[in-house]
Amino acid sequence: MAFAAGLAAVWITLNGLVSPTPADGISKVEWLREHGASFDTLFLGSSLTARQMVPTVFDATMEELGSPTRSFNLGLPGMLPPEDTYVLELALKDREAPLRFGLVECEGLRLGVRRRDRFTSRAVYWHDTARMRVLWNRFWVPPSLASEGAAGPPPPQRDFRHLRSHAQHWLWNTTRLGRGAEGLKLALASPKDRQRAREREERQLGPDGDGYRPTVPHSLAGAARASYLTDLAAARERGSRLVYGDPESQAELLRKKALIESHGGRMVVIAPPTTGGQLAPLPESGLLFLDFSDPDRYPELFVPEHRKDSGHLNQEGAAIYSRLLAHQLVAALRAPDAVAAQP
């Protein structure tokens, strides 16, 4: 009993003193909570958002179109649902200034933790109880929806290793296991170390202080270019690659929608310019959906000269994408009946 009481006391102490270790880049979320009242538009998503949506270009175009915004890029490389919902909740916590738009990359829930991320801060920090509930539901739902929204075929044999891995990360996060060393390191940090940490956090905000960090200029060449052109040709041959995914992924979109609307904003769901399959919201969701995944409709986003690799745009492509996004958003707002594309 004494051991159990002591263990509980240590856990409560650590839980209060040491927050979950955030992933690289998450410091800009904390900065946004303190200084974000002047931003009325947020971009949320993975590297397809973090490295491809340029707030300065988007805002300049929106102003030219008579609908000025001030946007902040809240994207993080590798961030997928439900991590993105956790980050959005954290960024909007205690926010009083109203939002105008929340532009969210349309991605489905994926089970499992990448091997290289297991039990790192990047995999641990967002595994709270709410996210575990979402992952649990995702594990048991049918794997897909038909185009009319009916349940798809029965799921294949489930891999319980994925669920066990998420449960381990949840336990690690909830009990703050191993966080005593972090608390001690923080307490003993020298002024120079603290200054370096602040400078590292400031770099996450990018040169314009809007969360966007441009990548090194790069274009596809050689074997990478040839491989990309093969993928692009296959994508064109397949035609539309929009799918509805699974019911829990659709429910997660609606959770983000409710969160954004609770702060006065409108959620806009975006399909980025990729050659793979792409999730689309259900038509009855009422979500405004902008689809940039069609290489025939947006050829300028798919030419090799504007690509960093098969999945990402380079700097020039990102600027083009950001301008197109502003134009399509304003056009869609002027024709609000076109809210969803049909897979």
Question: DSSP state, 43?
Answer: E
Mean pLDDT, range 311-338, rounded to an integer:
90
Distance CA 313, CA 301 (A): 7
CB 204 within 8 A of CB 213: yes
| Confidence at 156, pLDDT banded by 50, 70, 90 | very low
Please say if the pLDDT value at position 216 is more than 90.
no
What backbone phi and psi angles, to 5 degrees, belong to 201?
-65, -40
pLDDT in tens, 226-258: 999 999 998 888 877 788 999 999 999 999 999
Burial annotation 120-157 (CB, 10 A radius, 16+ → b, else e): eebbbbbbeeebbebbeebbebeebbeeeeeebeeeee
Please say if the pLDDT value at position 46 is more than 70.
yes
Tokens of 137: 């539901």
Kindly report the average pLDDT of the chain as a whole number. Answer: 84
Please say if the pLDDT value at position 157 is more than 70.
no
The residues spanned by each domain of the chain are 2-334
The CA–CA distances, whole Å, from 124 to 93, 118, 179, 262, 283 equal 20, 8, 12, 27, 34
Q: Which H or E element spans position 62?
A: helix 55-64
Residue 152, pLDDT score: 45
Residue 214, pLDDT score: 86
Q: What percent of the chain has pLDDT over 70?
A: 80
**Range list of β-strands (E), the chain:** 41-44, 71-73, 101-105, 242-243, 266-271, 278-279, 288-291
Query: Lowest-confidence range among 71-75, 117-121, 283-287?
Result: 117-121
Characterize the bridge pairing of strands 41-44 and 278-279.
Answer: unpaired
What backbone phi and psi angles, to 5 degrees, belong to 308?
-85, -40
Question: DSSP state, 300?
Answer: G
List of residues 6+ apart from 221 with CB closer than 8 A: none
Inter-axis angle of helices 55-64 and 315-334, nearest 10: 40
Residue 92, pLDDT score: 94
Residue 221, pLDDT score: 84
Residue 27, pLDDT score: 75
Tokens of 269: 């769901």
May I ask the CATH class of domain 2-334? alpha beta
| Confidence at 148, pLDDT banded by 50, 70, 90 | very low
Residue 179, pLDDT score: 56
Residue 159, pLDDT score: 75
Residue 282, pLDDT score: 93
Dihedral angle of Cα 284, 301, 144, 286, to the nearest 10 degrees: -10
Residue 337, pLDDT score: 61
Reported pTM = 0.85
Burial annotation 216-225 (CB, 10 A radius, 16+ → b, else e): eeebbeeeeb
Please say if the pLDDT value at position 151 is more than 50.
no
